[in-house]
Structure formats: structure tokens, C-alpha cells
Structure 1
């Protein structure tokens, strides 16, 4: 049954905008300028700050984790923090093991209460046209590339790589190996220069784990506005924080890191999954998010 959310103080780029949302079938059906003429049930959210739910990167999920271990991780590190989509990846060392590894990770998430997206992590030597064509065929949404030596980038046939990626164009994401962290700044600078010069779809910085992923990066991957958005036609997934003077001019990341004690409600696809300190774990409610077109939304 349709209903209206009134006086929603939605946080966008450190500013609160007051909106009225028409909700239908667990989606934002429309952003309204007025609601007086509608006779639907109305919910007043004036006492709260509203944000879309977060998407977090976490690479520590393992196929070896038991159901109880996964349940605890998803409750403590995701649902309790207002995250309803997890972004993870599996290590792939050889071309022929691509789908085996991805399907293995899919099995891990069969009972997940939150949505999930699965990318892959590869060594630089696997960045070949034939492998990227296989990734394109299987709609792999993101490829994390381990970088250890900046000189090796110049040896890659980028023209063939760009052709093999087209038209799906899932982004390449840099991942600095632990032994090279001291050289990270130089490695990332060279990575960005190469990606821009060769016109390769890519993210230019490492994605920080366990912190809300920005709209810009989500769009590169193809998750925005499907996720972390409250726009016409998007799923109804949001967090409600108690309003306070000190959190009126903060961004999503600040809310996540410093004001989690004010998070009172998390809604995932129209269903409440967290109230105050109680997490409602719904096994199997999460979906495997399949990206159809990376970077299709113009920011």
C-alpha cells in the first residue's frame, strides 16, 4: 500500500534538504513538493536526519567462515552500522579459476540478510585482453589490481586492454601490496597518470575498507544510484539518526564514524532491519547485486 514520508531531513553533501517521499512497493515512487492532496498514510520524520544506507568494502569475508561467524560479522560490522550492501572481492590467480572463485563466494552469501557485490583481485600479470574479455562476459563489476612496481605499467598493451573492456567497462581499482605501502603515493600517482593517459575506466585511489564508499566511486562501479541513493525509482533503504546541533553540518562518513550512537532505525528495501540497538537478522533477504552498466549515471 502506498504511503508518504513527510519532513524527511535528507543529508546531501553536508546539507540537510527537507523532502516528501511517496513510497510504493518498497521504492521511492516520487519526490513530492506537497502532500496535502494525497490521502495515503503519512509518516513524519521531522525529529530525524535521514541518509541512504551505506555500502562498505570488506575483503576479510572468507568461504571458510561458518554461518555463525558470518552472522556475527554481518550484524556487528554492517547492519549495526547502517550498512545494507557489502562490497567484497575474491583473489584470482589464473584465468580458468575466475567463475569457480566467484561462485564459491556467492555460496557464502546465500543466507546473507544484506545485499552484496563481488569483484575480483588479480596480480598485474593477469591483466590481459583475453582475461578481461572473460570478465566482461561474466559481468564482473570491479577488478582490483595489485600494484608492486610502477615500471611494469608501461609494458601493458593498454590499447588492447581498453578494447577488451569495451563496452562493459568495469573499473580497474588499484591495490597496493602490503610490502609497498611506503611507496604508495608514487605508485598511485603513476597509476592515475597511466589510466588517464590511456583512457582506461578506473578508480585512481585505493578504496578504504569499512568506511562508506563515495557516490563517485559507487557510480564508477555502477552501484549508484541503485544503492546509497534516495531518488525517484530507487529502493527504499535508509538510516534515521536523532537530530542534534553537532551533526547538522557533517557528511555521511562523519555520521558513520562519530555519531553511530544516534543511529536509531535502518530500513533495507522497505523492511526495518535495525531498531535502536536491536538488529533484526533476516537470512536470505540479501541479493547478489549484478551491475549491468558501470559509470552510466552522470554526476
Structure 2
């Protein structure tokens, strides 16, 4: 089916721009300011704000959940907020648990109605070159690192960790306890010094990953952007419910504003917070070019 999303107000890095999208075979064929000369069916979206489908992290989905609990988290914490891909994170105590934990998580996520990535979380003490290599074999794109103090960070043989990532970097994400600002500053210095793919802070659970984070991990531009050639993943917000300023980028508060419509791979999954839950419609996604934006990230 071919149709046009006409005159939507798309949220961009420069603010809000009115634009039209030609959709063909569940892909964005191309984007123009207007598509008046095309005769396909048009949906006038001038009263809506258009954003990409969101990628959100989650630490609560685990194999001990019953299906009803899994479904509740998916609906209320993710899908109602416009999430079309979840970064589900498995907590690991020891390297020997990794294979079974990831296998169980993949089994759990078979029922996912949205796309998903699998990450792991482990204490800094247990982060070893061997663990990194095991994660690479399992195609894990991110590792959340728990740590409590600066001494832990300073004594770690980071050169070995970096060498284990050669040719296929994994993005490291801090998960600190204690004095966050001081610990995160030390983390930033160390990861920049060793030129590792990393985020400077831990993203908020059940909130959209920022574009810079998606770029660093390698998820962007496959997810998190509406562009020619991309899958049809988007959210529509009612402009009358937003305090819209054209030159403002932060007027949309994800905790208090839910999208009116969410489309995932061309299929409506959210209509006025009524969720269409189709188990198994989501697919596991993998990073094809890890840390493709590492140079831009480390130069910030």
C-alpha cells in the first residue's frame, strides 16, 4: 500500500518543520516539505507532531516474569510512551552465567510485540577481557557497568578491556552508585583516555535514548530517525495538548505526554493509549557497525 503522511510537524534537531512523507511497502520512500502533485491517498496530519519511534532501556524484564507481568510492563512502561524498540538489560553476577542468562532473555523476548536489543549489566570487578569476548560471540551491543568508587575505576586494567574489543567494540555504559557526578567525571576521563566506545552517563529507564546515545551504540540511524529508506516507525502527538514553540526542542515531556498514535513497522500498535498487543511481532535487532560514530562521540 502506498500513501502520504501529509503536512505533519516533524520534530528535528532544528526544532519543528512541516513535512510530508511518501510511504510505500512499509518504508519511507522519500520526504519533502510538500507532496501536492502526488495522487496517492493522503492523511492530513497538520494537527499532529511527528517523532520517530523511541528506543528505551528497561531493567525489569526478566525470565522469572509471568506473561501477564511481561505484558503489563510492555504496555504501560514502554508502548504507551511510544517505544517501538526496547533495550532489555540482563543482570549478570558471574561470567559463567552469561550464556544461559542471554538464552533465557531471548526466550522471554520471543513474545515481544516490539523490536528489541539485548544488553547486560555486570559489576566492574567481574568485567574481564574474557567476558568481553563472550559478549561479542553473543552479539551483545552494550554492557552496563556497576561501580561504587573512583579507586575501582583507577585500578582496572582498561588497556586489556580495550584490546578485547578490537574489531568489534561494545559500548560501555556507567551504572554508578554513590557520588554520581564525581564518579561519572572519572569514568568520562578514563574511557576517553582509552578511546573506548562509551556513554558519559546512564540513560533513564523507560525514557527515549537520546540521539547521541543511539549514535554511539550504533543503533542510529537504523532506529531513532525518520528518513528515506527507514522502516515506518513513528509517533503522533496532538499539538493542542503541547505547549509548542517552533524554535524549542524540549517542550515534549515524555513522562506527561503520550502519543495519540504509534506505528511500528507500518502497523498501528497504539491508538489513544489503547494498545494492540501482538506477541512475537517484534524482532531482535543487532548492531551491524558498532560505534560507527565513536570519533564524533569522543571529541565532544
Alignment RMSD, CA only? 1.9
Is contact 2:7-2:34 (8 Å) kept? no
1:230 correspondence with 2:226: yes
Do residues 246 (structure 1) and 243 (structure 2) align?
yes
Q: Which 10-residue stretch deviates more, 15-24 or 150-159? A: 150-159
Aligned partner of 1:130 in structure 2 is 130
Residue in 2 that maps onto 1:15: 15
Please, which moves more after superposition, 194-203 or 243-252?
243-252
State the distance in 2 between where 1:255 and 1:272 align. Answer: 22
Structure 1, unpaired ranges of 5+: none
Q: Which moved more, 1:263-272 or 1:249-258?
A: 249-258
1:8-35 CA distances to partner (integer Å, 9 max, x unpaired)?
A: 2101237111112121221112123542
Q: Is the 8 A contact 1:51 1:252 kept in 2?
A: no
Partner deviation per Cα, 1:264-299 (whole Å, 9 max, x = no partner) = 111111101111131111111111111222232578
Instruction: Give, in whole Å, the separation in 1 of the partners of 2:261 and 2:282.
Output: 18
Paired position in structure 1 for 2:213: 217
Helix, strand or coil: the match of 2:10? Answer: strand
Partner of 1:153: 153
Q: Structure 1 length as normaliser, TM-score?
A: 0.91
SS of the aligned residue for 2:119 comes to: strand
Aligned match of 1:53 = 53
- The equivalent of 2:269 in structure 1 is 273
Q: How do 1:84-163 and structure 2 match up within 5 A?
A: 84-163=84-163
After TM superposition, the structure 1 stretch with the greater mean CA deviation from structure 2, 278-287 or 37-46, is: 37-46
Question: How many equivalent residue pairs?
Answer: 293
Q: Which runs of 4+ in 1 moved over 6 A?
A: none
Q: Name structure 2 gaps, 5 residues minimum.
A: none
Deviation at 1:152, TM superposition (A): 2.3
Deviation at 1:190, TM superposition (A): 0.7
Normalised TM-score (structure 2): 0.91
Cα distance change, pair 277–139 in 1 and its aligned pair in 2 (3 A): closer
2:254 to 253, 256, 267: 256
| Further displaced range: 10-19 or 225-234 | 10-19
